[in-house]
């Protein structure tokens, strides 16, 4: 059985208020760009944050890693991609921020989110069946 691909891409341009005095995007704002792409990805299979809560689960980010390859600059057209690469015991989403014109990858990152029962606050060690249903896959 071939593994399905879950990917999304958004285009954005850094605003002036996201930049420092050198017109370079402040490193903390990259997470905002990842979040925009992550929401686009989750919306593709109908399991964005409101649907997560409705299903009885919270999905906090418990780990985030970023590799800043080249700086993002004010008003630079960008493409931000997000790909769900793991979903059995956690959601691992990989990101790439690229220059829209050249395609050069400027940043790579990933986040890990785990399911938490909203009622009890207990972390689950296996993703709940609702995620697999939304993805249209069966657990391994």
Q: What is the pLDDT of residue 3?
A: 53
Per-residue pLDDT at 134: 93
Q: What is the per-residue burial (b if ≥16 Cβ within 10 Å, else e) of 100-111?
A: eeeeeebbebbb
pLDDT of residue 2: 43
> What pLDDT is recorded for position 1?
37
What confidence score (pLDDT) does residue 137 get? Answer: 86
Mean pLDDT by 10 residues, the chain (140 residues): 75 97 96 98 94 96 98 98 95 98 98 97 93 84
DSSP string for residues in 77-94? -EEEEEEEEE-SSSEEEE
Query: Residue 69 is encoded by which pair of tokens?
Result: 């390859």
pLDDT at 57: 97
């Amino acid at each position: 059985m071939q593994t399905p691909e879950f990917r999304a891409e958004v285009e954005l341009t850094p605003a002036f208020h996201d930049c420092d005095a050198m017109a370079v995007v402040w490193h903390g704002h990259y997470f905002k760009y990842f979040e925009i792409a992550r929401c686009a990805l989750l919306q593709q299979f109908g399991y964005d944050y409101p649907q997560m809560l409705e299903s009885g689960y919270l999905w906090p980010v418990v780990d985030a890693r970023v590799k800043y390859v080249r700086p993002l600059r004010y008003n630079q057209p960008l493409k931000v991609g997000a790909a769900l690469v793991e979903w059995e015991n956690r959601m691992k989403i990989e990101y790439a921020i690229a220059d829209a014109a050249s395609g050069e990858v400027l940043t790579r990152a990933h986040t890990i989110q785990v399911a938490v029962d909203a009622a009890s606050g207990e972390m689950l060690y296996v993703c709940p069946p609702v995620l697999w249903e939304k993805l249209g896959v069966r657990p391994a």
